[in-house]
Chains A and B, each alone.
Chain A
Amino acid sequence: MTGHADVIVIGAGIVGSACARACAAQGLKTLVLDAAGVGGGATAAGMGHIVVMDDSPAQLALTRRSQQLWEGISAELPADVEFERRGTLWVAVDEEEMHEVRRKQAVYAAAGVRTEVLDARAVAGAEPELRPGLAGALLAPADAVLYPPAAAAWLLQQAVSLGAERLGPQRVAAAARGEVRMEDGSKLCARWIVNACGVGATQLLPELPIRKRRGHLVITDRYPGFVHHQLVELGYLKSAHAVADESAAFNVQPRQTGQILIGSSREFGAEDTEINRSLLAAMLRRAEIYLPRIGRLRAIRAWTGFRAATPDKLPLIGPWPEDGSLMLATGHEGLGITTSLATGELVAAEITGIRPGIAAEPYLPARFLNGSPAASEQLLFGEAAYD
């Protein structure tokens, strides 16, 4: 077995794999632990949409940086990662949403993200299956689609080729003060322990402000050319962050296989992996409003997954002030696939003291500790946190 490591990454999802790769790239002696296979948690359940989002300036910075990092490695990605620069089409149904299109374009432009406003005709031309009568759309052409478990496996393989070591499936019982204790009683020590367990992060650190937010997806048989871009309703932000415990939004993705991935739903308070039939039905009806013929496609599978949601919709990346050895890389909610790379960069930068590509402050877990402004206002998941 291995002696003292610089970093132990717990969790081999896409975030943990990206952290391991970034740490190993800095020459840190890195170990990776996971309870099961690579990318079997939220990584396997998610859509695999590399997207720039502008819900907040901090979110924009993180997603923008991540997208650049994905772009930078896109030529190296093996075929099974299925990286395709499909572009996102933010679909606007009416003039009110067209205002949002133009606002969004200005925000993106200020951040250096190129987008294109499509009018009604251009939308119909770009996506003939969309219903007639839409107002337009914002096209973000640099957004991409990939297959997350394969991406996680590749990132981990990169980490290993840079010197990281992956230990066989191990369930971690505790991780604190530089020591990781397995359920079988064995121990590992390191200067840093990175908790990249997604919703499982609270099992090691119950006080983390993370809640499970369940989502549903449906995948169809193969219908190449049915849609061409990742299609998202512009009301997505409204519905995705709605106060309601359950919400569904139109979010459809073309896979390289020709399959269509249909999302999305958000649900607090659901602890099991069961399908919520009525929410699933609502999600599919929402998709049908935009794609009237989607009902004629054959669905071959449906599943659920858990997003790790934080009160302020920003991930927890950086040191946990209560324990000088603990580093967090969790709480990415629905953006972990996109933001995994910038997360890895921030974690490695924090450990080595080098300057990261973006400011680390907005994502520091310390914001939720007593006395911090975020803690006083947002420690509890309440309506206030969701505008």
Chain B
Amino acid sequence: MTERASTALLSGGVALSVDGVIVQVPPGTTVAAAVCVAGAWTRRSVSGEPRAPLCGMGICLECRVSIDGAPYQRACQTLCAPGMQVSTCGEPALP
């Protein structure tokens, strides 16, 4: 755990990285909400449009992001964890 993440934990929050920016959120926050808090979109559509969550319940897959290097994770179905590395909108990285 990074120093910053552990500090956040002490203060009752969870610190994670969204596109390299540290975001602090309350425990129980979804990655989808954290991405919005960070002011980012979740993905680019196949024709290049920015997209953000639509259904909020794991169906639409608009909220797919890379989490800890694994691409295409549903951000709305994943809770933030300390030190989590989230990356959005990028080229789909290989696993």
Contact = CB atoms under 8 A, between A and B. Distances in A.
Co-assembled chains A and B:
yes
Interface of A: 221-226, 257-258, 293, 296-298
B92 A221 contact: yes
A220 to B, nearest CB: 10
Q: Is the interface of A mostly helix, strand, loop or mixed?
A: loop
Given A221-B92, A223-B94, A258-B92, A298 B72 contact: yes
Interface in B43-79: 46, 70-72
Contacts of A257: 46
B73 to A, nearest CB: 10
B92 A222 contact: yes
Given A226-B94, A297-B95, A298-B71, 6 more contacts: A221-B71, A222-B92, A224-B92, A225-B94, A257-B46, A293-B95
A224 B95 contact: no
Contacts of B71: 221, 223, 298
Interface of B: 46, 70-72, 91-92, 94-95
B95 A221 contact: no
A223 B46 CA distance: 12
A297 B93 CA distance: 11
18 contacts: A221-B71, A221-B72, A221-B92, A222-B92, A223-B92, A223-B94, A223-B95, A224-B91, A225-B94, A226-B94, A257-B46, A258-B92, A293-B94, A293-B95, A296-B95, A297-B95, A298-B71, A298-B72
A257 B92 CA distance: 12
B16 to A, nearest CB: 22
B58 to A, nearest CB: 14
Contacts of B92: 221-224, 258
B2 to A, nearest CB: 25
Closest 9 pairs (CB-CB, A-B): A296-B95, A298-B72, A221-B72, A222-B92, A223-B92, A223-B94, A226-B94, A293-B95, A297-B95
Nearest to A225: B94
Contacts of A221: 71-72, 92
B75 to A, nearest CB: 15
Contacts of B91: 224
A116 B49 CA distance: 41
A257 B45 CA distance: 12
Contacts of A223: 71, 92, 94-95
A221 B72 CA distance: 8
A297 B71 CA distance: 9
A100 B91 CA distance: 39
Contacts of B94: 223, 225-226, 293
Nearest to B73: A298
Contacts of B70: 296
A298 B46 CA distance: 17
Residue of B46, B70, B91, B94 contacting most chain A CB atoms (<10 Å): B94
Contacts of A296: 70, 95
A293 B69 CA distance: 14
Contacts of A298: 71-72
A180 B92 CA distance: 51
A61 B16 CA distance: 61
Contacts of B72: 221, 298
A226 B92 CA distance: 10
A221 B95 CA distance: 12
B53 to A, nearest CB: 18
Contacts of B95: 223, 293, 296-297
B70 to A, nearest CB: 8
B49 to A, nearest CB: 15
B72 to A, nearest CB: 5
A301 to B, nearest CB: 13
